[in-house]
Amino acid sequence: MFKILKVIFGIIIFFIILAIAFVVTLVIINWNNKPKKKEQSTTHKLSDLTTLTVNVDVKDAYVVVKKSKTEYVNMTYYACKTRSFEIDEEVDDLDNSTLTIKGYQTGKWYNRIFFTFNTTKVYGVTIEVPDGLNVTVNTKTDNGNVRFEEAYAGKFTADVNNGAVIMTKAAKASVCDFKTVNGNIEVTGCTVGTFTSNTKKGRVKLDNLIALLTIDASTDNGKIILNDTYATGNINLHSGKGDVKGSISLISDAYYIINTKAKNGKSNLENTTTGVAELKITTDNGNIEITLRKLLG
């Protein structure tokens, strides 16, 4: 019996040493493969352009869009031997500029495994864009967050798989269109023209969002939370499996035509048939608890 236990103990020790050696080997292989900071700017300034479109498509990386202090688009990104960026700038005969930023994974399989677990937060790109209604920023990332901060543009879009979309610090856009799969959408203290969001397996949180036109937000498996959200046009909110809660600001008590339906839950709002715009709130499996607040009086 003692010999059997001794053999088992020896096998366990062997595999522990093997695992430690494997980890140490990965560290040694990747020691000189740490992400390094790089900076680059566009060659054309906004005042010389008719339109500016920035397209970002990365994987296992974050994207941050901020306000530029100049008329140029400035990019700061972190790249290494196994993670690189390709940046391409094209300007047509009508002075329409398209800036494309793509992130690639290269290298051996052991490099990619090692860096998947420790560089998602440090590997990515920060884009500083000049303010302008003729500016469009389209972002796409798998396994990473997208943030919009301070910048002012004609259009912001985000398409995220396994990550969140965050808009904050008084960012402004005429059009916002956000989509996530397995991630939240959060907007805090921002002004937009039209706002559209859709998330699968995620929450939508709109905190002090001012929409000069419309709001359309939906989630198939999560809550919708609002705090002093305001729109002069229609507000359409739908949750497949979750509550719709919070507060909506309005000009007067009779501003909205209210249309609510909670299939497997309750609503604290009574439906009405008169108003300037429509407030439509539906949930398939949850409650509706909305407070309507007057902006004036």
Top pLDDT among 96 and 34 is at 96
Q: Report the predicted TM-score, pTM, of the whole model to 2 decimal places.
A: 0.86
* pLDDT over threshold 70, residue 31: no
Token digits for 70? 């100049």
Cα distances from 140 to residues 17, 132, 161, in angstroms, run: 42, 21, 8
- Confidence at 78, pLDDT banded by 50, 70, 90: confident
Q: Which residue has the tokens 């600001």?
A: 249
**DSSP secondary structure letter of residue 60:** S
Please name the helix (run of DSSP H) or strand (run of DSSP E) that holds residue 58, with its range, or none.
Answer: strand 51-59
Reported as a single tens digit per residue, the pLDDT across 230-242 is 999 999 999 999 9
Report pLDDT for 188: 97
> How buried is 228 (Cβ within 10 angstroms: 0-12 exposed, 13-18 middle, 19+ buried)?
middle
Question: Domain ranges in the chain?
Answer: 1-31, 35-145, 184-297
| Percent of the chain predicted with pLDDT > 70 | 85
* pLDDT over threshold 70, residue 28: no
* pLDDT over threshold 60, residue 124: yes
Reported as a single tens digit per residue, the pLDDT across 45-62 is 999 999 999 999 998 889
Q: Do the Cβ atoms of 119 and 34 come closer than 8 Å? A: no
Q: Which residue has the tokens 């002093």?
A: 228
Helix axis angle for 109-116 and 2-30, nearest 10°, is 90
